[in-house]
Structure 1
Amino acid sequence: MRTRVHGTAVRGVDVGPETGCAHYDGATDVIALRFGCCGEFFACAACHDAVAGHDSEPWPRDRFDDAAVLCGRCGATLAVRTYLDAEFACPECGAAFNPGCAAHYDRYFEGVDPADG
């Protein structure tokens, strides 16, 4: 399933207009992430597992300066380094990001320990 969020294709299960999905749909669940295996944006890792048809691979460390995080509020695409340094808020629009995502950083970003969040 593919939904357009601010013009960007986001895959997942029941993806809403700000990237919330069947798995995470709280007020701060407003990002989508690109995966290293396919380069596509998904609302969350569980969405990738449900619809991609292949094993997930996190975004590669040597590409942390590439845009791999989409803010569902404003549509900004952020480099991984920018996202990790943003202290759970979009640097473009100020939208709060779910700090609970840090518990899954290893699923999204190669070599980033969830304890680092």
Structure 2
Amino acid sequence: MAGIRVRGAVVDDQTRCAHYAGELDVVAIRFYCCREYYPCHLCHEEAAGHSARVWPRGQRDEPSILCGVCRHELTIAEYLAVSGCPRCGAGFNPGCALHAHLYFG
């Protein structure tokens, strides 16, 4: 899935952005409202031109998380159950859980 475009203030090829650029900030989230990938809620707010909508709880089987290291797509349920990419082993930022309510219902 190397062809997936990540929008927003992306600063490197592993989906880090101007707002979150730590070593473990290597995921992008496909937003429910526009089905486009952004590194974070702030990138979406700045670039999308519309308000964000969270994924309904009943749609957690949708591929909506992109590992910035290997470009593997995870479902929301998979992402919420792991601390890193099941394909390449890249660790994900545990602090992202603090923002889960901005993305997932």
TM-score computed with the length of structure 2 as normaliser: 0.95
User: Which residue in the other structure is 2:55 paired with?
Assistant: 59
User: Which residue in the other structure is 1:49 paired with?
Assistant: 45
Structure having the higher strand fraction is: 1
In the alignment, structure 1 residue 89 sits paired with structure 2 residue 84: yes
**Partner amino acid for 1:95?**
A
Higher relative contact order (CA 8 A, sep 6+): 2
Runs of at least 5 residues in structure 1 that lack an aligned partner in the other structure: 111-117
User: Which residue in the other structure is 2:67 paired with?
Assistant: 71
Cα drift, residue 6 of structure 1: 2.5
Q: Aligned partners of 1:105 and 1:38: how far apart in 2? A: 18
- How many residue pairs match? The answer is 105
User: Which residue in the other structure is 1:7 paired with?
Assistant: 3
Cα drift, residue 41 of structure 1: 0.6
**Partner amino acid for 1:68?**
S
Q: Is the 8 A contact 2:10 2:39 kept in 1?
A: no
Q: Aligned partners of 1:14 and 1:26: how far apart in 2? A: 13
In the alignment, structure 1 residue 28 sits paired with structure 2 residue 24: yes
The correspondence for 2:35, drawn from 24, 33, 39, is: 39
2:98 aligned counterpart, secondary structure: helix
Q: Deviations over 1:37-80 (max 9, x none)?
A: 11111010000000000001112222110100000001100000
Runs of 4+ in structure 1 displaced over 2 angstroms?
A: none
2:64 aligned counterpart, secondary structure: strand
Q: Percent identity?
A: 48
